[in-house]
């Protein structure tokens, strides 16, 4: 143990609270950057949903004429894929806890 660790232990500071000067700061470590990213995603979502009203559609089925049909269809398909993966595929692939022992 070096002197700085001894001083921190004597003062009651844990190792997890000591800032590491060698630790690298990443882009999304700052909450401000996360907020910017989320705002950008939400703004692009609103813009794309708005554009959908002005783009002419060439539907093959009557329900494809509904506004925002593609967005709703894609969201529902994603949710169904997650549910199928969790409740159907996971039991097929999952192994016992001690399988590799």
How far apart (Å, rounded) are the C-alpha atoms in residues 39 and 87? 33
Share of the chain above pLDDT 70, in %: 79
How far apart (Å, rounded) are the C-alpha atoms in residues 97 and 99? 6
Burial (0-12, 13-18, 19+ Cβ within 10 Å), 100: exposed
pLDDT band at residue 85 using 50, 70 and 90 as cut-offs: very high
Say which residue the tokens 């159907």 belong to: 88
Say which residue the tokens 């907020």 belong to: 35
How does 77-92 read in b/e, with b if 16+ C-beta sit within 10 Å? Answer: eeeeeeeeeeeeeeee
Question: Which of the residue ranges 23-27, 37-41, 65-69, 92-96 would you say has the lowest mean pLDDT?
Answer: 23-27
The reply to whether the predicted model has a pTM over 0.85 is no
Please tell me which residue, 6 or 79, carries the higher pLDDT value.
79
């Amino acid at each position: 143990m070096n002197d700085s660790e001894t001083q921190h232990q004597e003062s009651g500071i844990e190792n997890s609270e000591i800032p590491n000067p060698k630790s690298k700061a990443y882009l999304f470590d700052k909450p401000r950057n996360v907020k910017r990213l989320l705002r950008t995603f939400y703004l692009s979502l609103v813009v794309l949903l708005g554009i959908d009203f002005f783009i002419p559609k060439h539907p093959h089925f009557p329900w494809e004429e509904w506004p925002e049909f593609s967005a709703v269809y894609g969201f529902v398909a994603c949710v169904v894929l997650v549910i199928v993966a969790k409740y159907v595929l996971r039991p097929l692939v999952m192994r016992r806890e001690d399988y590799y022992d």
